[in-house]
């Protein structure tokens, strides 16, 4: 099967979850619950999927018939999720081959990554048998794939709406965090694959698939060590020529490489080699998971930027001084405010308690027209290529408890007005106070900005770094 035909594997119609818990107490097994929440078996859908729990100790699981093994399932199965011990996998694989299963996901760990020779040999035998029997394998030691359009997720709480971002991640934890936290801010995904030890399907296969996938227009990668060998970098170059690609490379220090070997049995490589290879391929490398999330979000909402000059409006002298430093450190330019713009802004901004400069310290409340007017005046100077609005909605939470949602809505309306009237890319910054009520308001703000395709960042540093990388994006990668 050519790499770009893997789409057949990621659109299953019948899924078996082997190894559901023997207890019926508590919430469903995460894999099971994720599929139910995504509506995989929704009878009102155009083509409801079939879901089969497998555990020889149960007759039913979560209201569905539970089968002792795959052979007992009366209908075909496309995709099997394996959550049983490593020693039991060979027998399950034989059942998959008999059943005509196309894709086996080995959530099971305890193979090569342990460093044990016998366990590594077991993994090799499983992969060899799977290839001979026509079964593709994700893993071992991974959480599988999430594809909203196919109504498949490995965990509850994932967004049901599909989007343009495709992700391949050697770490299941990184993949889950990216989906959950990025999803809160508006990232939407075509396919996310956690592939673990990459014993069969590896990063090269998945990268080629995402490069050709019509539902994917932006690719993010977390890689510890490529199993595709020399084929990986040509695949990265091909993908980056078709679509924007962002790479987070793990294991670039001696300690990190040692840990990567224990995590996914990966040989990590050196920072210098990876820096050069990623740059030559036309992709962009980031330093941590937050940067990956931020850059994917900024690229999804803003595309490529035409310049580095930024105009910043915030509240508090310390904030705007910090904002200037962070913007310059990130690689942006912070031009001074022209005299004409200063005079215009002074008409509705008192001199006392403000700094009428760029960055601009205003006392205008974020939900007021004066705040929107300030952004518009700064953006209309012709001196900047983009705007950052540093919101201080903490005041809304603490001071105006009963009207917080209305004020958040009004603040977002001012952001939308400023973007429309200036025609400039605009990003927002908001630091949510560590309080449950404030966090709920942050979620509301994130949903509102995402609906308007305005990226929201938790700090000025993260916003500046993401925007600077957009402005410096290498040529190519456009569809």
- In angstroms, the CA 152 to CA 34 distance is 7
- In angstroms, the CA 449 to CA 439 distance is 15
Query: Out of 19-23, 61-65, 340-344, which region has the weakest mean confidence (pLDDT)?
Result: 340-344
| pLDDT at residue 439, rounded to an integer | 78
Question: What residue ranges of the chain are covered by domains with CATH 3.40.50.261?
Answer: 161-302, 310-471
- Give pLDDT tens digits for 109-119: 999 888 899 99
| pLDDT at residue 466, rounded to an integer | 98
pLDDT classification of 258: cutoffs 50, 70, 90: low
CATH number assigned to the domain covering 310-471: 3.40.50.261
**For residue 260, pLDDT beyond 60:** no
- DSSP readout, 378-416? HHTTSS-SEEEEE--THHHHHH-GGGHHHHHHHHHHHHH
CATH number assigned to the domain covering 161-302: 3.40.50.261
- Give pLDDT tens digits for 175-211: 999 999 999 999 999 999 999 999 999 999 999 999 9
Question: What residue ranges of the chain are covered by domains with CATH 3.40.50.720?
Answer: 3-141
- In angstroms, the CA 303 to CA 478 distance is 10
- In angstroms, the CA 144 to CA 137 distance is 10
- Give pLDDT tens digits for 29-58: 899 999 999 999 988 887 889 999 999 999
| pLDDT at residue 402, rounded to an integer | 59
- In angstroms, the CA 472 to CA 475 distance is 9
Distance of CA 194 to the CA centre of its chain: 12
Angle at 284 between CA 196 and CA 172, to 5 degrees: 20
| pLDDT at residue 479, rounded to an integer | 44
CATH number assigned to the domain covering 3-141: 3.40.50.720
Tell me which residue of 160, 168, 208 sits closest to 188, measured CA to CA: 160
């Amino acid at each position: 099967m050519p790499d770009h035909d893997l789409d057949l594997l990621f659109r299953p119609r019948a899924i078996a979850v082997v190894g559901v818990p023997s207890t019926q107490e508590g919430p469903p097994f995460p894999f099971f619950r994720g599929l139910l929440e995504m509506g995989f078996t929704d009878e009102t859908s155009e083509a409801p999927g079939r879901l089969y729990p497998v555990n020889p100790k149960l007759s039913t699981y979560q209201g569905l018939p539970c089968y002792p093994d795959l052979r007992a399932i009366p209908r075909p199965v496309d995709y099997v999720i394996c959550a049983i011990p490593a020693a039991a996998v060979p027998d399950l694989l034989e059942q998959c081959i008999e059943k005509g299963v196309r894709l086996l996901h080995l959530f099971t760990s305890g193979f090569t990554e342990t460093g044990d020779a016998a366990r590594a040999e077991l993994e090799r035998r499983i992969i060899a048998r799977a290839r001979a029997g026509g079964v593709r394998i994700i893993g071992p030691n991974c959480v599988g794939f999430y594809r909203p359009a196919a109504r498949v997720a490995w965990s509850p709480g994932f967004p049901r709406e599909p989007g343009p971002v495709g992700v391949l991640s050697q770490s299941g934890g990184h993949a889950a965090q990216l989906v959950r936290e990025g999803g809160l801010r508006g990232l939407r995904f075509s396919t996310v694959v956690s592939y673990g030890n990459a014993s069969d399907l590896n990063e090269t296969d998945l990268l080629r698939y995402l490069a050709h996938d019509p539902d994917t227009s932006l690719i993010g990668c977390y890689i510890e060590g490529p199993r595709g060998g020399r084929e990986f970098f040509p695949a990265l170059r091909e993908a980056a020529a078709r679509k924007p690609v962002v790479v987070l490379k793990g294991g670039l220090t001696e300690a990190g490489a040692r840990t990567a070997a224990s995590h996914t049995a990966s040989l990590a490589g050196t920072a210098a080699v990876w820096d050069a290879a990623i740059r030559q391929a036309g992709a962009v490398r980031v330093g941590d998971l937050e940067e990956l999330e931020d850059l994917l979000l900024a690229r999804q909402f803003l595309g490529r930027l035409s310049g580095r000059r930024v105009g910043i409006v915030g509240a508090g002298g310390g904030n705007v001084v910090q904002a200037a430093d962070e913007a310059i450190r990130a690689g942006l330019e912070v031009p001074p405010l022209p005299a004409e713009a200063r005079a215009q802004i002074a008409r509705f901004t008192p001199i006392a308690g403000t700094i009428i400069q760029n960055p601009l310290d205003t006392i205008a409340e974020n939900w007021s027209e004066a705040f929107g007017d300030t952004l518009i005046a700064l953006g209309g100077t012709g001196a900047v290529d983009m705007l950052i609005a540093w919101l201080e909605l903490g005041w809304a939470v603490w001071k105006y408890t009963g009207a917080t949602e209305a004020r958040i809505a009004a603040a977002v309306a001012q952001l939308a007005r400023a973007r429309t009237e200036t025609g400039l890319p605009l990003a927002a910054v908001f630091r949510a106070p560590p309080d449950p009520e404030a966090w709920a308001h942050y979620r509301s703000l994130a949903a509102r900005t995402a609906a308007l395709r305005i990226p929201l960042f938790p700090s000025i540093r993260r916003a500046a770094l993401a925007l600077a990388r957009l402005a410096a994006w290498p040529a190519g990668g456009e569809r």
